[in-house]
Structure 1
Amino acid sequence: MKSEKVLTIGIDIDGTVTSPSSIVPLMNESFGRNLRYEDCFEYNLANVYNITDEEFAIWLDQYGERLYDEAPVHGTADQILRLWHQKHKLVYISAREYRHLDVTLNWFSRYEIPYHEVDLIGSHDKLSSARKWDVDLFLEDRLENALQLSDALEIPVFLFDTPYNQGTLPERIHRVHTWEEVNSMMQSLFPKASYSLRG
């Protein structure tokens, strides 16, 4: 662990930097449903909306650009990431496809969210990318990813609390509810590596 040096922080985008509820209104509009974010009890929204995986893939192919463009920032993610950028290497590792790089970077620019690397891998298996960037810590909303990364890399993972990632967590995975909580926990785990929001 590079406790005396700058941290390399791996960060998921959707549901972590963007609001985890942002996909629901668009899916409701598309499929004529009136579900709430709280109804999304599992990560696979095809099951939640009672459609096939293929139908969801077709939908995401059609609406992905709009979804990524319109997603709101998750709480104070933008403020805290600007603080972290001064001291740490921020590497965004996302299951988004590479063809969505432009809309992703434009969104980052619009909200003044800083980055060092943006790795759109087109897959939920983020382990090889996290290894490639040698991350010290990961921020995620998908439970399966958090379990895999914390176990294989033996690193802390901050898991943003959602209806679809409930369950008992192993010691290295820390459930968090806000970005302020993440920043506070950063100070506990890496005392020399984080900033206070109050400067």
Structure 2
Amino acid sequence: MTKLNICIDIDGTVTEAYDWIDVANEFFGKNLRKEDVVLYEIEKVIGVSREEYDDFYRVYGKLIHSKAPIRDGVIPALESIFKNHSIHFVTARSKDMTSVTYNWMSLYQVPYDSISLLGSHHKVKKAKELNCDIFIEDRYENAIELSKEGFTVILINCLYNQGELPENVIRLENWQQIYYFINQFEKQRSINSSYIFKSKNAFIASA
């Protein structure tokens, strides 16, 4: 068995992707639905300036993160993965979200080896430091940036992350599929220590 280093984003990846809508609707007087969220940049979805959104996030960010629902299937998948592999959460959240992040992980008893709050969407450097084998993301631009550096990326499907994907990025719908993919990847890596995922079509055909 080959032990893998799994890097995982938090917001929209282990949390529900549209957890901010109700608070934003009330604050901005909107009536947004999840079907309206076709862009990653929340301020563009709401129709406000970046400065207005930043003001909103400064007031309500910690509340949103503390109340965020967890995605279906996350805990059983991560508990099984954690038995054999390392789990490292790598998030664009800033350092002032440290307490609320750790508290949320504790609330749901999420297993992990480390949490890195970068304050930036640029995750390549941290992925290299962690010797990442698979990176699980919900932001399209992050997936592309990581893929260009040779990382295997799972992009969990959301309305706001559509687009053409390179061969080393696979779009999956849920954590059951993610767990299956990691198992298949580990089996191939055990057979061939230099294995690099290149054929999402073959994976989809076997799923």
Who is 1:40 aligned against?
A: 37
Superposed, 1:79-94 pairs within 5 Å as 79-94=76-91
Q: Deviations over 1:96-131 (max 9, x none)?
A: 111111111111111110111000011111111111
Task: Tell me how far apart the structure 2 counterparts of residues 122 and 82 of structure 1 sit (CA, whole Å).
Answer: 27
Amino acid at match of 2:161: N
In structure 1, the partner of 2:65 is: 68
Map of 2:161 onto structure 1: 165
Structure 2 equivalent of residue 130 of structure 1:
127
- Which residue in 1 is equivalent to 2:52? 55
Q: Secondary structure at the match of 1:191?
A: helix
Paired residues of 2:19 and 2:69 also in contact (CA < 8 A):
yes
The number of residue pairs the alignment matches comes to 189
The question of whether the paired residues in 1 share the 8 Å contact of 2:4 and 2:186 is answered with no
Alpha carbon RMSD of aligned pairs, Å? 1.3
Match of 1:19 in 2: 16
Give the unaligned 5+ runs of structure 1.
Answer: 194-199
* 8 A Cα contact 2:81 2:179, kept in partner: no
**What SS class does the counterpart of residue 105 from structure 1 fall into?**
helix
Partner of residue 197, structure 1 = none
Q: Normalization by structure 1: what TM-score?
A: 0.91
Structure 2 counterpart of 1:141? 138
TM-score calculated relative to the size of structure 2: 0.88
Q: Distance in 2 between matches of 1:129 and 1:187?
A: 24
Aligned-partner residue type, residue 186 of structure 1: I
Q: Could you tell me how far 1:188 is from its partner in structure 2? A: 2.2
> Separation in 2 of the partners of 1:36 and 1:155?
33
SS of the aligned residue for 2:99 comes to: helix
Letter in 2 for 1:8: N
Of all paired residues, the percent bearing the same amino acid is 35
Structure 2 CA distance for partners of 1:167 and 1:192, relative to 1, 3 Å: closer
Q: SS at 2:187's partner residue?
A: coil
